[in-house]
Amino acid sequence: MFIIEKSFLSPRLSLLRPAPHPHPLWSRNRILKEAFRRNFPVKWAHSTSTMADTAKDDTGSLKEQLAKVFEVSLKVTVPDEPEVVPLIAPCSRKEAGDYQCNNAMSLWSKIKGKGTDYKGPQPVGQAIMRNLPASDMIESCSIAGPGFINVKLSTQWIAKSIQKMLIDGIDTWAPKLPVKRAVVDFSSPNIAKEMHVGHLRSTIIGDTLARMLEYSKVDVLRRNHVGDWGTQFGMLIEFLFEKFPDGKVNDQDIGELEVFYKASKQRFDGDAAFKERAQQAVVSLQGGEEKYRKAWAQICEISRKGFEKVYQRLGVHLEEKGESFYNPYIPGTLDLLRQKGLIEESEGAQVIFIEGKKIPLIVVKRDGGFNYASTDLAALWYRLNEEKAEWIIYVTDVGQREHFEMFFTAAKRAGWLPTDENKHPKTSHVGFGLVLGDDGKRFRTRSTEVVKLVDLLDEAKSRCKAALVERGKAAEWTPEELEQTAEAVGYGAVKYADLKNNRLTNYTFNFDQMLNDKGNTAVYLLYAHARICSIIRKSGKDIEELKRVGQIKLEKDEERKLGLHLLQFPEVVEEACTNLLPNVLCEYLYDLSEKFTSFYSECQVVGSAEETSRLLLCEATAVVMRKCFHLLGITPVYKI
């Protein structure tokens, strides 16, 4: 059976409050290596204390630690070239080594003609290799091509690093990012409308980005920028007054808010007198009249309860700061932009012209009303100045790309953001593609309606539960266990099917594929994790005791491959955060399960002479898999 990790069973509910390009490597040159070791025995032992301290620094990802070692050598090799950044990358040909340093060619292009004694990039590479300080992490180095330095890591160091993580905890592997506080703006449904499948991607992708940043010790402000302000509320409020003149109304009276919205829109479009009253209602609402504010708040609260059903199923936490929150800041924000001469009159509207764009960014409409651009600019000002965010991330569909490009450009012209993309504070638009049906068109119901997100999630759970019952689990488990497992696997399958794709592409929503227990699916990965836990249980050993007294030894090739992959987890998370691509983490997780399968096929665990070491390797794999699941918002299972 499945056992669910307890910490995931009661997810935090939504708090919706108004408030160098690598060169092809040559084969390893053993003669060069041996000659190097004979002729330059001092390469591993510099006397400078700073060099020794740097070499012993065991913090940061594997790539970062290697970079620190090579940084010492680069300062010695080319002392007149300051701030040379070590170019470290995994070896493209695994037989050549584990990592490579690719600085030699770019350095040669800088120093040639400056009176250097080096005769080409390969001698530069040899000097970098010769000047490396002593380091426990490096077993050997070799030169390939025009100065590429291949590095083979110490197998003993890999084993010790994994064992240290098991004792100290995987949070010690968290990458270090150059920001302390970030805003992730995601989900953002509209009040009075159902959350549909289009909101799935923003909610899932945004939650995973927030989780990865939080793991990386960034203070993340999870913002739900709901559409809770605007002219449509005059229409809704007036229709509410018409249906319930005494003002006494509850959720059941209104029924489905989406139906209520459509009925009010139909009335607005077909009745001139109603339309006039609705427009006046907007004025009354914006003027703060209590009757209208109360009706508006009631409509918003009903919507929040609907959103909450989705967020609770997904285990997503958000804090609402919608359009209404930023509305009071708009006039002051626009005044700041006017003072800088950015806002101009154009055809009765107030706009900001953006170089290279055919149309300007409208910030005040002809009728004097505000719009998305004015709200977004006010929100950005607030996030930079009041919330002190250093990185502001917007998760929306790719169709809004041009809006964000223009909006970001306006902020740079205002001096709010640096023009250098590598400096902070900065903004990023995380675009994503469409969710398609099997017909290749936008995913809809048979009645051509967009699929409600809560119905879609319930269907995933229902299908998973039916499959478990068919396997006889209803007789083995309690009803609670059956429900929890169906939720864990069903919701996890929906999330992973989305996240494993490059977010910029469209993807086809298919229940049969995402609930398949073979291939790159959440079901397969959850089962793989459960099998690892089963191996540990069947050994009868106390894994916590083994962590204290046991020792990991990576003697076979499959053991070392698995160990190295485990150690690369921090740099994968860093890459996924830096590039805002959750699929990078999904690829790593799937590769991890495949490498474990290869290891388990080649290496007997229980009952072998190496049982203790291999059980610890199993535990390390399970620990990393669980952290991957957590970052993806997926609940792990422990038994099948």
Share of the chain above pLDDT 70, in %: 88
What is the reported pLDDT for 7? 32
- Quote the CA–CA distance of 626 and 532 in Å, as a whole number: 11
Q: What is the pLDDT of residue 109?
A: 87
- 269 vs 58: which has the higher pLDDT: 269
For residue 205, the surrounding DSSP H or E stretch is helix 198-215
pLDDT of residue 369: 82
pLDDT confidence bin for 48, thresholds 50/70/90 = very low
- Using CA atoms, how far residue 574 sits from 64, 88, 100, 172, 578, in Å, is 11, 14, 19, 14, 6
- Looking at residue 43, its pLDDT comes to 29
| Mean pLDDT score, 125-133 | 94
Question: Can you give the pLDDT at residue 449?
Answer: 65
**CB neighbours of residue 92 within 10 Å:** 12
Residue 425 preceded by cis peptide, ω within 30? yes
- Give the pLDDT confidence score for residue 38 in this predicted structure: 28
Of 13-27, 435-449, 623-637, the poorest mean pLDDT is in: 13-27
**Burial profile 149-178: b = 16 or more Cβ within 10 angstroms, e = fewer:** bbbbbbbebbbbbbbebbeeebeebbbebe
Helix runs in 477-610, H state only = 479-499, 511-514, 522-539, 543-549, 557-567, 569-579, 582-602
Q: How far apart are CA 175 and CA 165, in angstroms?
A: 14
Beta pairing class for 319-320 and 344-346: unpaired
State the average pLDDT for the chain: 87
How far apart are alpha carbons 166 and 16 in whole angstroms? 37
Listed range (34-48, 203-217, 503-517) with the worst mean pLDDT: 34-48
Q: Are 361 and 412 in contact (CB under 8 A)?
A: no
Q: Whole-angstrom Cα distance, residue 569 to residue 522?
A: 19
Q: How far apart are CA 55 and CA 591, in angstroms?
A: 30
- The mean-pLDDT minimum among 103-112, 165-174, 221-230, 317-326 falls in 103-112
pLDDT, residue 35, reads: 31
Could you tell me if residue 75 is left (phi over 0), alpha (psi between -120 and 50 degrees) or otherwise beta? alpha
Residue 199 belongs to what H/E stretch? Answer: helix 198-215
Residues 331-366: pLDDT tens digits? 999 999 999 999 999 999 999 999 999 999 999 988
Q: pLDDT tens across 386-411, in order?
A: 999 999 999 999 999 999 999 999 99
CB distance 209 to 577 below 8 Å: yes
With 0-12 / 13-18 / 19 or more C-beta atoms within 10 angstroms meaning exposed / middle / buried, residue 383 is buried
Calpha distance 488→211 (Å, rounded): 18
- The Cα–Cα gap between 543 and 11 comes to 27
Whether 185 has a pLDDT exceeding 50, the answer reads: yes
To 10 degrees, the CA torsion angle through 113, 118, 123, 125? -60
Across the chain, which distance is largest between two alpha carbons, in Å? Answer: 95
Residue 558 is predicted with a pLDDT of 97
Q: What is the mean pLDDT of residues 40-67?
A: 55
| Residue among 635, 524, 625, 520 nearest 583 (CA) | 520
pLDDT-wise least confident of 165-174, 450-459, 575-584: 450-459
Phi and psi torsions of 181, nearest 5°: -140, 135
What is the rounded distance in angstroms from the CA atom of residue 414 to the CA atom of residue 407?
A: 11
Q: Which DSSP category does 452 fall into?
A: B
Six-digit token pair at 171? 């949070």
Confidence of residue 18 (pLDDT cuts 50, 70, 90): very low
Given a cut of 70, is residue 442 above it in pLDDT? yes
pLDDT tens digit string along 589-625? 999 999 999 999 999 999 999 999 999 999 999 999 9
Mean pLDDT of 206-222: 98
Could you tell me the pLDDT band of residue 445, with boundaries at 50, 70 and 90? low
Percent of the chain with pLDDT over 90: 72
Assign 119 a pLDDT band (cuts: 50, 70, 90). Answer: confident
3-state secondary structure 275-335: HHHHHHHHHHHHCCCHHHHHHHHHHHHHHHHHHHHHHHHHCCCCEECCHHHHHHHHHHHHH
Choice among 183-192, 254-263, 313-322 with the minimum mean pLDDT: 254-263
User: Which pLDDT belongs to residue 254?
Assistant: 58
Of the candidates 575, 456, 449, the residue with the CA atom closest to the CA atom of residue 90:
575
What does the block give as tokens for 58?
A: 């065991």
Within 57-103, residue ranges assigned H as helices are 62-77
Nearest-angstrom CA–CA distance, 541 and 146: 51
Please compute, for residue 382, the number of CA atoms within 13 A of its CA located in the half-sphere on the CB side.
Answer: 20
- Flag the least confident range among 225-239, 401-415, 554-568: 225-239
pLDDT tens for each residue of 102-114: 999 999 988 887 8
The structure tokens 């809809």 sit at 444
Looking at residue 318, its pLDDT comes to: 96
Q: d(Cα 271, Cα 424) in Å, to the nearest integer?
A: 51
Give the number of C-alpha atoms closer than 13 A to the C-alpha of residue 204, restricted to the C-beta side.
Answer: 31
d(CA 403, CA 337): 18
- For residue 247, name the pLDDT band (cuts at 50, 70, 90): low
What does the pLDDT read at residue 44?
A: 30
pLDDT class of 58 with cuts at 50, 70, 90: low
User: Phi and psi for 428 in degrees, rounded to 5?
Assistant: -140, 135
Instruction: Give the three-state DSSP class for 92.
Output: coil
Q: Is the pLDDT of residue 34 over 50?
A: no
Within a 10 A sphere around the Cβ of 604, how many other Cβ atoms?
12
Output the CA angle 354-359-365, nearest 5 degrees.
Answer: 100
Q: How many CA atoms lie within 13 A of 537 on its CB side?
A: 10
Least confident piece of the model among 370-374, 437-441, 467-471: 437-441
Do strands 349-352 and 344-346 pair parallel, antiparallel, or not at all (unpaired)? antiparallel
